[in-house]
Amino acid sequence: MDFSHLHVEFFMDAKENKSASATEGRPIFEDVEMVRIRIAGDPKTIHVAPANEGSSVRDPNTNQRLTYAQLHAEPYKAFKDGVEYIGSGTPLAELPFLTKAKAEEFKRMNVHTAEALAGLDGQNLQKLGMHARQFKEQAEAYLAKAAGSADVTKLAGENAELKEQMAALQAQMEVLQGGKAEPTPEPGRPESPFQSWADEDIINWIVACGGKKPHPASKHETIVRLADELNAKLEKQSEAA
């Protein structure tokens, strides 16, 4: 569940135990764990409740209401450990288009991350003031670019891992064949490293690397060709990165 639009913090508060107060004839207070929830872009709306009170979200398995402590497990754990909860996401300080003053201004509006800024819309976005839409779009572009870089890095890593697996497989085959090398491939047509793979394994690799799944009726040679083409594409992306 995405809570990037919320700023959640837990704290201790003193609450009167009215039953005990009535019994003792004097005010009796107890320490109670509380939660304070603010909405990004809305400095006025604040929800405060006991941490162990049931929220509006139910457990899909038991249909029981989840407590705020269960629903917001990470900030609750930080509270129990006595550390400040920064929250998940990219801090505003990492955004090159925001000045320190503007980032601090947004924090006062309960916007602490790039994800929260990118997710704002409507009145809550308007409350950020002049150029709010521009800042939102810049945050969206920043996150999209970061995601794209991560994808390229992941593909490069997967491609390098595949090369290592193929080299290991080649070494094993040479051992099994008594050190004999593979037959020389047909001139002009270097043998594909996927040639000896099962069709199912090749298809799984293609899909895992972001390629289009071959038609179920495709022949082995067709599947091998598609894998070779995708492998060459990944190598170019890796070199470009």
Task: Write down the pLDDT at residue 187.
Answer: 55
As beta bridge partners, residue 16 has: 29
Residue 37: strand pairing partners: 8, 47
pLDDT score, position 41: 79
The reported pLDDT for the residue numbered 132 is: 86
Q: Measured at the alpha carbon of residue 155, what is the angle toward residues 153 and 156, in degrees to the nearest 5?
A: 65
Place of tokens 């040639």: 195
For the chain (241 residues), the mean pLDDT of every run of 10, in chain order, is 80 91 90 90 86 91 92 91 76 87 86 85 84 89 76 58 73 65 52 85 85 88 90 79 60
The whole-angstrom separation of Cα 100 and Cα 142 is 17
pLDDT score recorded for residue 13: 92
CB 209 within 8 A of CB 230: yes
Q: What is the pLDDT of residue 122?
A: 85
Distances (CA, A) of 105 to 101, 109, 128: 6, 7, 8
- pLDDT value of position 179: 52
Q: How many residues does the chain have?
A: 241
Give the bridge partners for 46, in sequence order.
38
Which pLDDT value is given to residue 223? Answer: 92
b/e string for 75-87 if b means 16 or more Cβ within 10 A? bbebbeeeeebeb
Q: DSSP alpha helices (H): ranges in the chain?
A: 18-24, 68-71, 73-81, 100-108, 114-119, 122-126, 132-176, 199-208, 220-240
Other beta carbons within 10 Å of 112 = 22
* Domain extent listing, the chain: 1-88, 151-182+191-240
pLDDT, position 239: 73
The CB density around residue 90, as the number of other CB atoms within 10 Å, is 18
Distance between CA atoms of residues 147 and 83, nearest Å: 29
